[in-house]
Structure 1
Amino acid sequence: YQGKHVPAAQVRKELKLQPYHPFGMDGISILSNSNVAEAQSIAAVKKAEHYLALSPVVIASSLEALNGNVSPYLWHTVETKGWPQGHEAAEAVLANLKGSYLWKKDAKRYLQDPLSFRSAGYILAAAMEELNQTKGLLNTAINHTTDNPIVNTEAKNDRWYSNAEVLDEMRAGKPTVYVNSCSNFDNTQLALQMESLTKALGQVMHISAWRTTQLVDDHRTGLSTYLVAKENKGGDGFANIAQSMSGLYADGMALTNSVIGYGVPTSIGIEETFSNLNATADRLSKMADVGYEIYAYEVLHTTQAMDMRKQDGKQMGQGTTKLLDGYRKVVPFVTKDRIFTPDINNGLKFLKSYQIPANN
């Protein structure tokens, strides 16, 4: 109310409105809708939006950890593909690498990085496009009725069927006022799009897990195997941490299975189609949660490698330095083998609340 969250009772009192008590079909029109599922969808989409906004700096940190090639993200490279959101995703990654050592020549740098690094921009672009489509449909949904029946006071009377006698039964007093049976609580379009966004997040999560497994390979990074610090003599480093990440990865991939269309006919069999929007919203929310957890593993690795490169005199990017400095306040550099559960949990909290710079 007037730009603020205010209890309805307070607003009614201020405006001198009497409480409204629904009855008959009014009660059905209020209850027989998808408003709750749409509210769940809003919450899930907002979580997915932050997860994707976080992705460019995570990808950039992985490139610095790997000593990766910026070539796949350059404007003239992306232009040759032409995918929607391709430039936006690539430039967001590169923006975090301003001032990075990756812009300097390095004879030891590979010409071709693993695809989880090379394709990260395109896969992020796909997810960003799905997010835009989902937000558009969700915005349409919440600004239109989900009632059944519906009342339209501005009906058109210039359709070829406008004078059909059957329409007389549907008019309510005036020529442009109609009460119609419908299925405006059907959200098949939105549910399909929510599933598409969930699958897109699954791809983002997928390549994050695979990048993490590449970062412990000394042949890929030129750093020590398992990112064992110099002072950690005989240590295992991150030798066994991928096993728990693999379990989370499996949980995430299982969320890509479709759930729309399932249901048991009700109301003596006349209600026999389903979109299960609430289930798609729940799965999108869970996929974002798994994505954050996988990122917690990846950033544990990337920051370790970034610090090791800084010890060798390498300069990190402006955006990735901000990530590294903030992360180090909650997760210290691994100088000695330790239990990593607290690090993953603290990293997860850090990433979920990470403030994305406006220019990214």
Structure 2
Amino acid sequence: MVELTGCSLTLAQAKQVIDEKVFVTLSQESMDRVKKSREAVERIVKEKRVVYGINTGFGKFSDVLIDPEDVEELQLNLIHSHACGVGDPFPENVSRAMLLLRANALLKGYSGVRPVIVERLVEFLNKEIHPVVPQQGSLGASGDLAPLSHLALALMGEGQVHYRGGIHDTLTVLSKENIFPIQLQAKEGLALINGTQAMTAMGVIGYLEAEELAHQSELIASLTMEGLRGITDAFDEDVHLARGYTQQVDTASRIRSYLQGSRLTTRQGELRVQDAYSLRCIPQVHGASWQALDYVKEKLEIEMNAATDNPLIFEDGEKIISGGNFHGQPIAFAMDFMKIAVAELANISERRIERLVNPQLSDLPPFLSPEPGLQSGAMIMQYCAASLVSENKTLAHPASVDSIPSSANQEDHVSMGTIGSRHAYQILQNTRRVVAIELVCSLQAVEHRGVDLMAPTTKRFYDEARKVIPSITKDRIFSKDIEAAASWLQSIQLHTIISNETKEETTNG
């Protein structure tokens, strides 16, 4: 069970709710804040005070006053007019993350919604009713207006939802679950859509997958080290302590632990004095990606617990301020940084693939072919990896450097953070396939060298991977192998296959 407070949600807890469907509850203290905030809104309506978003229009219409009898229609019109997202829907787990993050943000008690709004978001979570939300249409400032409007539609009984493996009309599902649609009241529509929960939800899903893939890429690189009879001296702890980056030190330590006991790796001078950068610099390059991912994690966990709508209500309604917490720039930068970090894991992986298949760079069979010439082996797999890497370079162009004015220039600078988060996820899928290709090739290489000579940890991983990826004894449709390997990597958690507690032999450093 995960209790939401509005202030303490972690990525680990988010993963439990999103992936493991852990039951969500609401802290009483947080709900008390929500109630007080709502009472302030109701006083404002009763006293006919002019406050943006409660009894005014939106954006450029902020100076248009709304009659008290029209404030509910104002919220309905807001959601209907802003629900103009287009394109394919976000993955269902991203929609689930949006529900979680929106509920947590409202629990901070600055938004002025009724408790039933928060309760309904959590009810959707616990009953696994996930709004269908189109991916495209957000500028990432004034919040993720279009995507979150589609989320709000579901609370109102409109639009469509993911439910029990299919997509259904929302009203049909609500009837089945005995849930009544909500009629939004003053400020509630604005409070639901004015925020960064689409880009942050996409970022959370992307980060959680990137973190696992980064760990997997290190173990697969270790198999490549064995396949190429790599030199382990470059991973000696003293080398990495001398530079001082914690993530680099940690990466080197994990590589040493994975290769402990291997009789395939070498020491400097045995076969050659030093390896190419794609082997020798694994800790430096992967470690730098970890630095970026650590930055992303920090920003996501701040944003997950942030009040990002507008206006915000303080001091029981005595202080109401129109600000700009909906601006997605912090997450936009983080997503662009994640794009680069993950793309670089693919870049260096593709270079290791080249060394595995190129007969001019190793003594392995050309292209790992069982019959060089008659059979092409992994030749075109490297082409595929190169193509994915090049596509990543285009996607890695920072979205956050772009801006375009909207709402008649009232909203004249925007973050494009949602575009950045979506591109980061695309890069992640491409990178997983590149790493999957390295896995296919490294398995073949260590098989050629002798699997009985592998380190215990890499051998355990080899045995599990071979259940999914058969040995290359004849040319076949390798697309199937790549996709099978990528799907397997996406479905597993490394710690369930290998132990990270393998004791390190200092002589193997």
TM-score normalized with structure 1 length: 0.84
Whole-Å separation in 2 of the counterparts to 1:11 and 1:194: 27
Identity level (%): 23
Whole-Å separation in 1 of the counterparts to 2:340 and 2:416: 16
SS at the partner of 1:62? helix
Give 5+ residue unaligned stretches, structure 2.
4-21, 26-118, 124-179, 502-509
Structure 1 residues 266, 105: closer, same or farther in 2, change over 3 A?
closer
SS at the partner of 1:247? helix
Whole-Å separation in 2 of the counterparts to 1:106 and 1:78: 17
1:193 to 310, 323, 334: 334
2:255 to 87, 93, 102: 93
Structure 1 residues 148, 105: closer, same or farther in 2, change over 3 A?
closer
Match of 1:226 in 2: 367
Match of 2:460 in 1: 322
Match of 1:36 in 2: 198
Q: CA deviation at 1:152?
A: 2.4
The answer on whether the counterparts of 2:311 and 2:322 sit within 8 Å (CA) in structure 1 is yes
For residues 159-308 of structure 1, the aligned pairs below 5 Å read 172-173=317-318, 178-229=319-370, 234-308=374-448
* One-letter amino acid of the counterpart of residue 290, structure 1: N
2:299 to 125, 128, 137: 137
Match of 1:163 in 2: none
Whole-Å separation in 1 of the counterparts to 2:341 and 2:487: 23
Q: Specify which structure has the bigger relative contact order, considering alpha-carbon pairs within 8 angstroms and separated by 6 or more residues.
A: 1
Whole-Å separation in 1 of the counterparts to 2:325 and 2:267: 59
Match of 2:490 in 1: 352
Worse overlay, 296-305 or 245-254: 245-254
Match of 2:23 in 1: 5
Query: How many correspondences in the alignment?
Result: 331
Match of 2:242 in 1: 80
The answer on whether the counterparts of 1:261 and 1:273 sit within 8 Å (CA) in structure 2 is no
Q: CA deviation at 1:110?
A: 2.1
1:67 maps onto 2:225 in alignment: no
The answer on whether the counterparts of 2:436 and 2:482 sit within 8 Å (CA) in structure 1 is yes
Q: CA deviation at 1:219?
A: 4.6
SS at the partner of 2:323? coil
Structure 1 residues 233, 346: closer, same or farther in 2, change over 3 A?
same
Once superposed, what is the RMSD of the aligned Cα atoms? 2.6
Whole-Å separation in 2 of the counterparts to 1:77 and 1:235: 42
Q: CA deviation at 1:103?
A: 5.5
1:47 maps onto 2:209 in alignment: yes
Give 5+ residue unaligned stretches, structure 1.
13-17, 155-171
Deviation string for 1:68-92 (max 9, x for gaps)? 0112211011112222411111111
SS at the partner of 2:234? helix
Structure 1 residues 234, 268: closer, same or farther in 2, change over 3 A?
closer
1:339 to 455, 474, 477: 477
Worse overlay, 340-349 or 103-112: 103-112
Q: CA deviation at 1:49?
A: 1.2
Match of 2:37 in 1: none
Deviation string for 1:239-261 (max 9, x for gaps)? 33322222212111111101124
SS at the partner of 1:222? coil
